[in-house]
Structure 1
Amino acid sequence: MELRRKRAYDTPSAEDGFRVLIDRLWPRGVSKEKAAIDLWAKDIAPSPELRHDWHAAPDADFEVNAERYRAQLHNESAEALQALVDELNGRPVVTLVYALRNTEHNHAVVLQGVLKPLLE
């Protein structure tokens, strides 16, 4: 399986495979048709508190916020994580779609790292 990341504001393509929106909120200004989302996994997104902290200082505290998100995924979001793994198993290409501008320091990077070993 190939697990990719892409911003919600980038043009969808056939190479994206199964597109999963991993944000709690729908991306501002993006229509459902334009987004071409196959699954909206909002229960897997960072909690509102963590999302706020992440937006306040996305680069400065990346590792701290990433560790908090990993803990959230394995504790209070464990059922949602397992449901997502079950949904994605067997799909050749999956793209995690997110809205943040920062493509290197965001929850999609963390989620991709958590999902990879679970989907192999």
Structure 2
Amino acid sequence: MVDVRTKRAYDPPEDGDGRRVLIDRIWPRGVSREQARLDDWARELAPSGALRTWFGHDPARFGEFRRRYLSELLAHEPKVRELRRIARHGTLTLVYGARDTEHNDAVVLAELLRRGRRRGDPGHAS
């Protein structure tokens, strides 16, 4: 069982957050490092600039965004495996800056980490 949570960077950290990992490419505006209380910043797991621009946080494009983002994550299997390992041994909170709490990269990555390893998934050892 894995314990993966998502949280906006603008929400205050809580003791129950466990290991906090920022997964955005850009630091969230107006949030200090002290306020963020991060354990890691996994920039490499953020969607590419081209994908982020195409998506534009349009909920109607989220299904296709999810598909394309999962494809991009294939290039980062070691980091995905590391996060899955962390979540198996304690709480992992994926921190993000987007306003939309339902249609963002953290939601997609959290789903991937929670569902376990399936052939073809990033982080699945073939």
Q: Name the TM tier (shorter chain).
A: 0.7 to 0.9
Residue in 2 that maps onto 1:107 = 105
One-letter amino acid matched to 1:64: E
Select the residue among 95, 98, 105 that pairs with 2:93.
Answer: 95
Structure 2 Cα separation of the partners of residues 89 and 108 of structure 1: 14
Residue in 2 that maps onto 1:59 = 59
Tell me the number of residue pairs that the alignment of Structure 1 and Structure 2 aligns. 116
Structure 2 Cα separation of the partners of residues 7 and 99 of structure 1: 5
Structure 2 Cα separation of the partners of residues 112 and 46 of structure 1: 14
Residue in 1 that maps onto 2:73 = 73
Residue in 1 that maps onto 2:47 = 46
- Pairwise CA RMSD of aligned residues? 1.8
Structure 2 Cα separation of the partners of residues 110 and 101 of structure 1: 15
> How far apart are residue 91 of structure 1 and its match?
3.2
| Cα pair 1:58 1:106 within 8 Å, conserved | no
Does the residue aligned with 1:70 lie in a helix, a strand or coil? Answer: helix
> How far apart are residue 83 of structure 1 and its match?
4.0
Distance 1:91 1:33, change over 3 A: farther
Identical positions, percent: 44
Structure 1 Cα separation of the partners of residues 61 and 14 of structure 2: 32
Structure 1 Cα separation of the partners of residues 72 and 94 of structure 2: 18
Residue in 2 that maps onto 1:14 = 15
Structure 1 Cα separation of the partners of residues 16 and 7 of structure 2: 11
> How far apart are residue 77 of structure 1 and its match?
2.5
TM-score (norm 1): 0.87
Structure 2 Cα separation of the partners of residues 89 and 109 of structure 1: 15
TM-score (norm 2): 0.83
Does the residue aligned with 1:65 lie in a helix, a strand or coil? Answer: helix
One-letter amino acid matched to 1:13: E
